[in-house]
């Protein structure tokens, strides 16, 4: 289908209250996503579904979204790792969070030094 066979129901497009969902329905995209959606949005549609894809479109269209390799902040992982004295356990926590134990221990060392400076003042 190339769009030429679709008749747009203009009654569904209310320009005073235009919504992404309304346009999606008026353009009869359901079932024709491969032909209708831009590649990036098609990927999102296939990955997270229609509603989430439309929500991302509504709030982030035109923006570049950077998805870092690591899901968690190093400070959060360091907090978790600081709860154990075992280097082996710290290494497990660091690796599970996507970091090396050396990096997480560096965060902890920096934090201790900052705390020492604050306490001595």
Cα gap 25→51, rounded to integer Å: 12
- Does 95 reside within a domain? yes
> Which parts of the chain fold into alpha helices (H)?
20-26, 33-36, 39-48, 50-60, 74-81, 87-96, 101-120
Q: How many CA atoms lie within 13 A of 73 on its CB side?
A: 3
* 80 & 55 share domain: no
Q: Which of these, 58, 47, 9, lies nearest to 29 by C-alpha position? A: 9
Confidence check: pLDDT of 2 > 60: no
Cβ(20)–Cβ(58) below 8 Å: yes
* 53 & 81 share domain: no
Residue whose entry in the numeric block shows the structure tokens 């001595």:
120
- Residue that wins the pLDDT comparison between 58 and 4: 58
- Does 110 reside within a domain? yes
Q: How high is the pLDDT of residue 15?
A: 61
* 56 & 83 share domain: no
* 41 & 80 share domain: no
Supply 23's token pair: 């346009």
Number of domains in the chain: 2
- Residue that wins the pLDDT comparison between 14 and 116: 116
Q: How high is the pLDDT of residue 118?
A: 82
Query: 45 lies in which domain range?
Result: 10-60
* 19 & 54 share domain: yes
Cα gap 29→47, rounded to integer Å: 17
* 78 & 38 share domain: no
What pTM value is reported for the model? 0.67
* 54 & 78 share domain: no
**Mean per-residue pLDDT for 15-29?**
78
Choose the weakest-confidence range: 14-18, 25-29, 36-40, 84-88: 14-18
Q: How high is the pLDDT of residue 5?
A: 66
Supply 39's token pair: 């590649």
């Amino acid at each position: 289908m190339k769009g030429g066979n679709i008749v747009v129901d203009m009654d569904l497009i209310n320009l005073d209250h235009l919504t992404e969902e309304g346009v999606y329905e008026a353009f009869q995209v359901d079932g024709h996503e491969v032909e209708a959606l831009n590649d990036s949005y098609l990927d999102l549609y296939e990955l997270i579904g229609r509603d989430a894809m439309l929500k991302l479109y509504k709030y982030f269209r035109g923006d570049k979204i950077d998805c870092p390799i690591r899901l968690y902040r190093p400070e959060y992982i360091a907090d978790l790792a600081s709860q154990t004295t075992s280097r082996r356990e710290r290494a497990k926590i660091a690796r599970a969070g996507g970091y090396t134990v050396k990096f997480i221990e560096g965060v902890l060392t920096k934090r201790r030094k900052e705390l020492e400076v604050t306490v001595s003042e």
